[in-house]
Structures are given as structure tokens and as C-alpha cells.
Copies of this chain bind each other. A is one copy, B any other.
């Protein structure tokens, strides 16, 4: 799953949005279905911070993807009808060039010498794939979480591609509470002595900081209400810490421990720092000087904004704001407010709530 099945290599310099450049970066992606025409049936999918381009299984990679129940024959993103392209974000470590990649000019791993990453750069990485595939238009751009902001950047910078937009649990920009959470996650990693200014031993990365950051992440990806139903004050008799006096016997603590264990070693620490910071930096208002001016630059036929009531990271009021802004310029804009209890992560785990909504977008009759 580390390597997406296809890659595009940019020819020459890739100029970064906030300065600097990358020499011939690679963008990894995966596709499902067959392309028709110049992109009339193309769906471009931008991911959240940590997923790879492996959104669903395929003959070349039969392992389950992160949106397995959404993409495929007869599913809402129907590979019998559509050509679905999932982009691995520039800056990630699943095939696309990022801080964990070797700089071809120096032969060294970029680490913190990678230029400042923005979601505009991630969007342009996606555009390199679109261009390499020869597409002149797209049917719909979809973005989940961070990917929703990337999708906005993609649509505002490439109005010529037209089509529609589905934004899922995202926003026009991060709120201070979300910035605070991500900033603290980054600080946990950077303050781990093993981070070593980004020059950590790849065989001995700053796992302590990464685990703490992952636990805080899980708290903001789910919801207090879900955990109340799921765990209550249930205790376990697991001994996880030598200092068990302070920890570990509540079921919710064990759950977080297990999640941290699963994530550890999967994601490069520097890549995480860059993508997390890119999420904070994004502000759609920079595209024109105000949100309204940014929306006016869009050239979209339709839009759908899906938000979840219990989302702590991208609160539903932000998604309402996005939907209202889009509706000012795109008459066919729908805002779907879902009452899922699993918080920000609902789009990954509450498929029975999300599938009908996405199906309705693609097959409204």
C-alpha cells in the first residue's frame, strides 16, 4: 500500500506556491474505471492528510482501500460509469515526492529542506496528473477533510476544467481551534528528542511524539458522544504502562493506545509536519482577496457540501459557510447536514449515511 500503482514525473522544475521549487517531483495516483473523451466522466479525488491514493481495491492491488465501500462497480463512485482518479498529496510519503524523498539535485533526503508546502501545491500536483492523462475537463472534483480545501484550490486555479465539486467535512480555511490542535500535534513531534531537527534516524523515528500526536488526532476525528456510547466508564485489566498508576485501565485509553500502535511507523514524521502545517496555512480568501472574490473565480456547474454535526475539527458551521458562499455563485449548490455521531471521521466509517448522499449527486433521478 506504500506505493500507489501509477506515477507522473513532472518534467523539470515544479515551482512552489510560497517560494522555492522541487526538481522533477513524482505524483502518485490510482485510477478506477475507463476514461471517456477528454474527461467528461472523470472524478478527481483529493484525500485527507494521511491516506494514500489507494482509495479502493483494484486488480493491481486487491487490498482494501480507505474508501472501499464508496468506489467500485455499482457503488456511488461507480467505476462502470466513471473514471476515478485519486491523488496522493505532494508532501506525503506514499509515492508522491515529499520531505521523506531524495532531492535529486543533492542525493539527500529533503527532510526540513523541503520548501514550505501549501494545499495549492498539493492541488497543482493533482493537476500534473490531470495534464499527463490528457484531460481537458472533469466531471467532479471531490475532497474530504484537508482534501476539501485542496479541491477548492484546484477548482479556483483551474476553472477551465469545469465540472462539479463535492466538499466533505472540510472548510474554506482552518479555525483557530483546529490550528491550535494541529500546532500542538506538531509540537509533540518536534519536542521529541528523537526528531533531532528533522534529521532523525529513519530506523528510530520520533515515535513517542508521533504516538501522542495520533492520540490527540483520534480525539478530534471522533466525537465525545460516540465515545460515551461506546466506552462509558468501562475499565479493562490491561497493563500497558509500567506507570500504570496514572494510566491505561479505562477502555477509552486502551482504544487510543491501540490506534497509536497501528499508526506508528506508517507515516513519516516530517511529511506529517509539512501536511499539517499546509492545512493551517490554507485560506481560500487568498484567492482574490476575500472569500466572496474567491468564490466568484470558480467555474463550477454544481456543488455539494456535506457536513457532520459532531465534527470538532471542521465544525458544521464552517461547512454551512462554505455552502452559502458557493451558493452565491453556483445556483445548483446543495448543503447536506448529517447527524452522524462519529465526528470528523464519519465519511470514513458511517458509509450508510454517506453513500446515499453521494449516489444522489451522481444519479439524481
Closest to A186 in B: B246
Q: Tell me whether A262 is interfacial, beta carbon within 8 Å.
A: no
Q: How far is the CB of A247 from chain B (nearest CB, A)?
A: 6
Closest to A184 in B: B215
Q: Tell me whether A264 is interfacial, beta carbon within 8 Å.
A: no
Closest to A181 in B: B219
| Cβ A173 vs Cβ B256 within 8 A | no
| Cβ A177 vs Cβ B256 within 8 A | no
Annotate A171-215 by CB proximity to B: 1 below 8 A, 0 otherwise. Answer: 001111111110110111011010001100000000010001001
Binds B, one of A25-33, A40-48, A131-139, A226-234: A226-234
| Cβ A184 vs Cβ B216 within 8 A | yes
Closest to A208 in B: B191
Q: Tell me whether A224 is interfacial, beta carbon within 8 Å.
A: yes
Given contacts A112-B245, A187-B247, A246-B190, contact A176 B252 (CB under 8 A): yes
Closest to A222 in B: B177
Given contacts A188-B188, A245-B116, A246-B190, contact A183 B228 (CB under 8 A): no
Q: Tell me whether A280 is interfacial, beta carbon within 8 Å.
A: yes
Closest to A112 in B: B245
User: What DSSP secondary structure best describes chain A's contact surface?
Assistant: helix
Residues of B within 8 A of A125 (CB): none
A227 to B256, CA, bound (A): 27
A355 to B173, CA, bound (A): 37
Residues of B within 8 A of A276 (CB): 246
| Cβ A177 vs Cβ B224 within 8 A | yes
Residues of B within 8 A of A241 (CB): 190
Given contacts A181-B219, A186-B247, A277-B246, contact A176 B212 (CB under 8 A): no
| Cβ B183 vs Cβ A256 within 8 A | yes
| Cβ B231 vs Cβ A176 within 8 A | yes
A173 to B277, CA, bound (A): 36
| Cβ B243 vs Cβ A112 within 8 A | yes
| Cβ A224 vs Cβ B315 within 8 A | yes
Residues of B within 8 A of A193 (CB): 193
Residues of B within 8 A of A179 (CB): 233, 250, 252-253
Nearest 4 pairs between A and B by C-beta? Answer: A177-B224, A176-B252, A176-B227, A176-B231
Mind listing 26 A-B residue pairs with CB under 8 Å? A176-B224, A176-B228, A176-B230, A176-B231, A176-B232, A176-B252, A177-B224, A177-B252, A179-B253, A180-B215, A180-B253, A183-B247, A183-B256, A184-B215, A184-B219, A184-B256, A187-B212, A190-B243, A190-B247, A191-B212, A193-B193, A212-B212, A216-B216, A224-B312, A233-B283, A246-B276
